[in-house]
Structure 1
């Protein structure tokens, strides 16, 4: 009985087409705010709003570059987007001091694949309690050679502190007794 070997090219193509769907399903929820094309080949700048899953009072706006099909065909390197990113984060509602103190001091908040093979753009939160700040760093991560391209945004944390009690006014001095001449 003859066994036919599967066509490796077809298997590779099926994996290549299904991997972006798989990584999209596993990624954190993000909201596309907008985008625009920036050249004649259709390359696009995308702006995405990301809420910190452990600290929803902070929203980060993440700008990334998405290569067009025409650019991919013309320049090769079909399965990869550039590592360049821009980020800006801000506090959208009050943060409790105890919440800030209980957060992990250094944690990955978001990661999104930017290549078919082992390249991703990540967002990391670093909590600086003494300076009442949260630092968000966006960077590219690769299996072998990581990129030095990064973006950083600092969110100053303002706490809602109850006002100090107002001191009661001092009692008025008693009038001096009437002296007789």
Structure 2
């Protein structure tokens, strides 16, 4: 009974964490490629997902990352690798309706059942009139220094209100 209760508690915590991260932004899957064939369960793959910046209209970030397959991956129990790549681009007129923070997490997605997340942080480079986006992976105990960065120049006519 004790084992069942702790397992149930872990699943509840995972659900709450997933719901909290999901409220930030829902990615749109653009596509994927298989990297390793798995006889049982889904193949290992690299997925490309698009995230629209919720506070900066006209900017979309494309993140590519590894997704672990196999039985554990199919059940959502595998831990995905920490490597990810990001490219953010202007896809329409850039508008910023409310002041944004100098540095703010704009996307977060779970990459293991409980402890690991893929994060995208937006930073404002006021001297170059640009938005800088960085992706990295972290864990509750120890994160990874692997990261990827991209920048989107903001047209001079557009104010970047920073709070």
Segments of 5+ residues of structure 2 without an aligned counterpart are: 159-163
CA RMSD of aligned residues (A): 2.5
Which residue of structure 1 aligns with residue 116 of structure 2?
A: 119
Deviation at residue 57 of structure 1 after TM alignment: 1.3
Q: Is the 8 A contact 1:43 1:71 kept in 2?
A: no
Which residue of structure 2 aligns with residue 65 of structure 1?
A: 66
Number of equivalent positions? 149
State the alpha-carbon separation in 2 of the partners of residues 69 and 14 from structure 1: 23
Q: Give the alignment's TM-score, normalised by structure 1.
A: 0.71
Q: Is the 8 A contact 2:68 2:78 kept in 1?
A: no
Segments of 5+ residues of structure 1 without an aligned counterpart are: 1-6, 162-181
Once the two structures are superposed, residues 97-128 of structure 1 have per-residue CA deviations (whole angstroms, 9 ceiling, x without a partner) of xx399321100001111122321110000011
SS of the residue aligned with 1:14?
helix
Q: Give the alignment's TM-score, normalised by structure 2.
A: 0.78
Larger RCO, structures 1/2 (Cα 8 Å, 6+ apart) = 2
Once the two structures are superposed, residues 47-73 of structure 1 have per-residue CA deviations (whole angstroms, 9 ceiling, x without a partner) of 111011111211000111111124769
Structure with higher Rg: it is 1
CA change 1:72–1:14 in 2 (3 A) is: same
Q: Is the 8 A contact 2:46 2:66 kept in 1?
A: yes
State the alpha-carbon separation in 2 of the partners of residues 8 and 107 from structure 1: 40
Tell which deviates more after alignment, 21-30 or 78-87.
21-30
Whichever structure has more strand as a proportion of its residues is 2
- 2:136 equivalent to 1:142: no
1:86-165 alignment runs, 5 A limit: 86-96=85-95, 99=96, 102-160=99-157
CA change 1:64–1:20 in 2 (3 A) is: farther
Which residue of structure 2 aligns with residue 81 of structure 1?
A: 80
Deviation at residue 12 of structure 1 after TM alignment: 3.6
